[in-house]
Amino acid sequence: MNELFSDRINNVAPSFIREILKVASNSSMTSFAGGLPHRELFPIAALREATNKVYEDQGADALQYSNTEGFEPLREYIARRYWEKQGLPISMEDILITSGAQQGLDLLGKVLINDGTEVIIEEPAYLGAIQALSLYRARLNTVPISTEGMVISKLVDVLGRCKPKLMYVVPNFQNPSGITYTKDNREAVATALRDSPTFLVEDDPYGELRFVGSRQPSFRHFLPDKTILLGSFSKTVVPAFRLGWIVPPRPLMGKLVIAKQVSDLHTSTFVQRVLCQYLYDNDLDTHVKTIVEFYDRQCKTMLAAIGEYFPKEIFYTNPEGGMFLWVTLLKKQSSMALLEKAIEKNIAFVPGHPFYVNGGGDNTFRLNFSSAGEDAIHGGIALLGKLIRELPA
């Protein structure tokens, strides 16, 4: 059967999360599984107004084919925001609009990866990156992360063993672990990479969702010619628009544009214009503040419930933002066994194992705190705590 399909697609495991989400979409489930933004935070009325304006004011232009790079006013908005929020000098020409950050990953695979190209990813790593890089048959080298960021000694080991072309990281409120790289850790990573030919992909869909403290510097500050930025409106506006972007070092742009043409010619003109209208008519900072306050409350509710109901020896991360936290059970305990019991009680989460490309992580799992309501979080965590106590130690 496998002979029917390309080696490329046979190399990609189906997303375990999508499988769990099928179970978790049952309305009686309390789901800590997906990475869904909370539906009540979608700015529906403002997006409807923006849509009507685009139909009225831009009519046929908004419904026509357009250029691959993307709608210029939207690219200008993104460039300005990089400067205002992060002091990064990025111009409109540096930005390629993509159909979600996920497409940025796919385009990088198309443009930079051959069979066996060495790539570094985090352990645990974002599943969508594992899938995209596996499709292009990269050789995935993992570097573990701790609560500080990358484990530098392991990074240095891997850099000594192979010459990776790419390194993919999510330094802010990482998916799946919720951890954020400290400034010192970022500097150490940058120092380790400075003399290597490796491009660093900084995927930052959650960076604006910070509850405490202040933003840590982007790798683009430390390695301006080597850092590829991926961004997204999925978590700050809505995921259904599928609007993201990539900021590559200039020499990569031309080939990325060609790869994007091959994929889909361009991201929906209409959706880009609607989003742009929304951004010019509304204050994104105000909206992001509402999201941050909401997720901060949800996160605190989850952490308080974990503190109350989980056995004291269970380790969990304390995220500074984003949508996830990460739990490590005792060494011999299995999060897959826990999931089976939890599903019977209508609770879903994602076991850690699929985030580990080289095996391991069997005693870990990811909890999402953005989508369930506060009562459901409290009740669900209480039940999970009871089930953990019933696991063999």
Ligand X SMILES: Cc1ncc(COP(=O)(O)O)c(C=O)c1O
Residues of this chain that interact with ligand X (CB under 6 A) are: 35, 100-102, 126, 128, 170, 175, 203, 205, 232, 234, 239, 244
Cβ atoms of 53 and 280 within 8 Å: the answer is no
* Min dist. Cβ of residue 85 to ligand X (A): 18
Q: What burial class does residue 212 get, using C-beta atoms within 10 Å of its C-beta: 0-12 exposed, 13-18 middle, 19+ buried? A: exposed
Each as own residue / partner, the long-range contacts of residues 155-162 (CB below 8 Å, 24 or more positions apart, any chain) are 155/120, 155/189, 155/192, 156/192, 158/120, 159/120, 159/192, 159/193, 159/196, 159/198, 162/118
Nearest to 49 by CA among 275, 373, 360, 318: 275
d(CA 65, CA 267): 10
Residue 235 gets which letter from DSSP?
T
* Min dist. Cβ of residue 107 to ligand X (A): 12
Residue 349 gets which letter from DSSP?
-
Nearer to ligand X, 230 or 252 (CB): 230
Tokens representing residue 210 in the block: 């910070």
d(CA 203, CA 327): 22
Cβ atoms of 355 and 365 within 8 Å: the answer is no
CA angle (324 as vertex; 205, 306 as ends), nearest 5: 165
CA angle (217 as vertex; 213, 113 as ends), nearest 5: 130
Nearer to ligand X, 203 or 208 (CB): 203
Phi and psi of 114, rounded to 5°?
Answer: -105, 170
* Min dist. Cβ of residue 235 to ligand X (A): 8
* Min dist. Cβ of residue 368 to ligand X (A): 10
Cβ atoms of 26 and 148 within 8 Å: the answer is no
d(CA 124, CA 121): 8
Nearer to ligand X, 109 or 128 (CB): 128
Nearest to 178 by CA among 316, 288, 41: 316
* Min dist. Cβ of residue 196 to ligand X (A): 23
Cβ atoms of 263 and 106 within 8 Å: the answer is yes
Residue 217 gets which letter from DSSP?
P
- CA-only gyration radius of the chain, Å: 21
Nearer to ligand X, 170 or 200 (CB): 170
* Min dist. Cβ of residue 231 to ligand X (A): 8
* Min dist. Cβ of residue 123 to ligand X (A): 14
* Min dist. Cβ of residue 26 to ligand X (A): 21
* Min dist. Cβ of residue 392 to ligand X (A): 33
d(CA 363, CA 218): 32
Query: Which residue sits closest to ligand X, CB atoms considered?
Result: 100
Nearer to ligand X, 204 or 296 (CB): 204
Nearer to ligand X, 203 or 362 (CB): 203
* Min dist. Cβ of residue 375 to ligand X (A): 25
Nearer to ligand X, 237 or 305 (CB): 237
Looking at the DSSP bridge assignments, the partners of residue 365 are 327, 351
